[in-house]
Structure formats: C-alpha cells, structure tokens
C-alpha cells in the first residue's frame, strides 16, 4: 500500500490504541480463567491474580465431583435455549407475515398492537401477576421460555421490514395464482427466502435465552429448574449450594476443604464456555446481526 508518511504514523497509532482497548475488553475474562486454576491457599493469601503463584485444578475437580447439579443446570439452559429459539423464530416470522402483506385488511390494527405494546406496558408487576397467579407457570419449564423474550416487537419489525424490502410481491402472487393457500406460501416461499434475517434473530434470541436469569429470578423457586445463570446467582450467595444438590455426599464432602473462592470463578468459566467455544465460528454472524439490527430497528 502506498501511503504518505503521516498516514502511516496515524495508522500505527490507531493499531496501538485498539490493542490497548482490546486488552481492556479481554483481560477481565483472563482474570477469572486464571483465578479458577489458582490454588485455594494462594488465592486467600494473594487474592485473584493474572499470574497465579501456584496452579491447581482442585476447583474443576470439585465441579466434576458435583456434576449432577451442574449438568442438570446445563441441560435446563440448553433445553430452554432450544425451545425458546425455535418458538420465538416461528412466532415472530408468523406474526410479521400479515404485517407485511399489503392485501391484509387489519394490517394497521395489528401493527398498532405490536408497536403499542413495545412502547407502553403496565410494567413488571401486572405481567408478574398474570404469569404467576392467572396462568400458573411458576416452577415449570415454560416460566423460562414464555415471559419477556418469546416475541419482541423489535424482532417483529426487523423481520417485517425484511419481508417488505427483500421478498418481491410478484413471487408470492404467482404462488397464490397457482393455488397455494397462505400457509403454503408462508412456509414454502416466504421462510426459505428469509433465511438471512431468520439466522440473525435466531442467533440473538438464542443468546438472550442462554444469558437469561431474570425469568428464573421471578418465576423459579424450585432449584431443580435452575438454568446455568440462576445456578451462578445462587452460588454467589451460597457456595454450599453445590453440595446440597448432590444427595448423600454431605458426610464425605464435609471433611474435604471446600475450594470456595476458586470454585466460584470455575463456575463462571463453565457458564460462558459455550459462548467462548462457538464465538470464533459465529462472530461473523454476530457482527452482521449488529449492523442489520441497527440500520433499521
């Protein structure tokens, strides 16, 4: 590349600043990773440090010993993420379909409902009472799937705009002329043509479900339904909780010293593991999704 020398200098300056910012972004993650493999006594003496004086895998060995609780939480989280994402994508694309259809009579009414609920709601208290005392979803798997995230106005608008801008009406019309009803048109033509936007909202919805702890906080009191995030919250309050999950091991576990400080960090690492593993493959789509979502929200 041919650049004037002051451009080159400026370029180097940019790279250096960005390196510093990247370090700030990533170092906190390195700290919890390092803390999770630090020896417990070293931790108590020196605190969390980037370069531990003494390594130890005791925290992870401890987690493996308590695998029943952790695997269950992992299972719940994966299940909720799976069900939630599939249902969310299905409902979002389905409600956006008539909103984008120009020949649909109640289009404006429907659009008004979606918009208005996005901008105005009774707040947390009425929805809490609705879900818990009218629909009785407390302490079921649905409590983690249905409230808050299933259909968000933001996603609906995103999909609707995609339909109107990228799927030609003529295509849908020709299918109708061939005798296809709306359901066939939707599944056979609209959905296959909207794969990019479906991938985007699917990815972000999956992330939202994986990271969700608010539904668990409000609607789950039985620890059997804790996903990984709520297990993490519970562990912060009470490190003993892991033990109580493993039935019958209480007597044996008492004699072993609990590596509480390191275990907490090991749990946090366990919680972000799926994100860290998939991120290198998905980062491209995440970045594209941010741009799509921002251009027209």
**CA–CA distances in Å: residue 237 to residues 23, 233, 240:** 30, 7, 9
One residue of 61, 68, 184, 287 binding another protein per CB under 8 A: 287
The first and second tokens of residue 193, run together, are 């043509």
Cβ neighbours around 151 below 10 Å, total: 19
Distance separating alpha carbons of residues 228 and 77, to the nearest angstrom: 6
Distance separating alpha carbons of residues 205 and 199, to the nearest angstrom: 10
Distance separating alpha carbons of residues 88 and 212, to the nearest angstrom: 15
Question: Does 238 sit near another protein (CB under 8 A)?
Answer: no
The interface mask with another protein, positions 212-231, x = CB under 8 A, is xxx--xx----------x--
Distance separating alpha carbons of residues 112 and 109, to the nearest angstrom: 5
From 80-88, 171-179, 190-198, 278-286, span contacting another protein (CB under 8 A): 278-286
Question: Does 76 sit near another protein (CB under 8 A)?
Answer: no
- Say how many CA atoms lie within 13 Å of 288 toward its Cβ: 11
One residue of 72, 160, 243, 264 binding another protein per CB under 8 A: 264
Residue 57, C-beta contacts closer than 8 angstroms, at least 6 positions apart: 37
One residue of 17, 68, 71, 256 binding another protein per CB under 8 A: 17
Question: Does 53 sit near another protein (CB under 8 A)?
Answer: no
Please name which of 209, 77, 223 lies closest in space to residue 155, comparing C-alpha atoms.
209
Nearer to another protein, 75 or 126 (CB): 126
Q: Which of residues 122-151 bind another protein (CB under 8 A)?
A: 122-130, 133
Question: Does 184 sit near another protein (CB under 8 A)?
Answer: no
User: Where do contacts with another protein occur on this chain (CB under 8 A)?
Assistant: 6-7, 10-11, 14-15, 17-18, 21-22, 24-26, 28-29, 31-32, 35, 43-44, 46-50, 115, 119-130, 133, 207, 210-214, 217-218, 229, 232-233, 236, 261, 264-265, 267-268, 271-272, 275, 279, 283, 286-287, 290-291, 294-295, 297
């Amino acid at each position: 590349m041919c650049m004037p020398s002051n451009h080159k200098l400026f370029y180097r300056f940019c790279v250096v600043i960005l390196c510093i910012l990247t370090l700030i972004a990533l170092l906190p993650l390195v700290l919890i990773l390092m803390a999770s493999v630090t020896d417990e006594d070293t931790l108590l003496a020196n605190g969390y440090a980037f370069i531990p004086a003494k390594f130890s895998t005791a925290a992870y060995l401890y987690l493996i010993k308590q695998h029943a609780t952790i695997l269950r939480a992992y299972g719940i989280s994966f299940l909720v993420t799976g069900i939630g994402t599939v249902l969310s994508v299905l409902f979002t694309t389905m409600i956006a379909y008539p909103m984008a259809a120009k020949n649909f009579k109640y289009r404006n009414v429907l659009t008004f409902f979606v918009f208005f609920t996005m901008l105005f709601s009774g707040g947390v208290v009425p929805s809490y009472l609705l879900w818990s005392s009218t629909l009785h979803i407390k302490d079921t798997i649905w409590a983690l799937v249905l409230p808050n995230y299933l259909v968000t106005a933001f996603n609906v608008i995103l999909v609707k705009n995609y339909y109107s801008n990228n799927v030609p009406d003529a295509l849908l019309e020709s299918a109708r002329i061939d005798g296809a009803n709306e359901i066939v048109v939707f599944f056979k033509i609209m959905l296959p043509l909207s794969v990019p936007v479906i991938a985007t909202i699917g990815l972000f919805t999956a992330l939202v479900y994986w990271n969700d702890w608010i539904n668990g906080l409000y609607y789950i009191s039985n620890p059997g339904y804790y996903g990984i995030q709520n297990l993490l919250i519970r562990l912060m309050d009470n490190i003993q909780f892991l033990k109580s999950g493993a039935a019958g091991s209480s007597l044996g576990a008492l004699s072993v010293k609990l590596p509480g400080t390191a275990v907490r960090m090991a749990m946090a690492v366990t919680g972000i593991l799926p994100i860290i593993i998939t991120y290198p493959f998905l980062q491209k789509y995440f970045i594209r999704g941010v741009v799509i979502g921002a251009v027209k929200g």
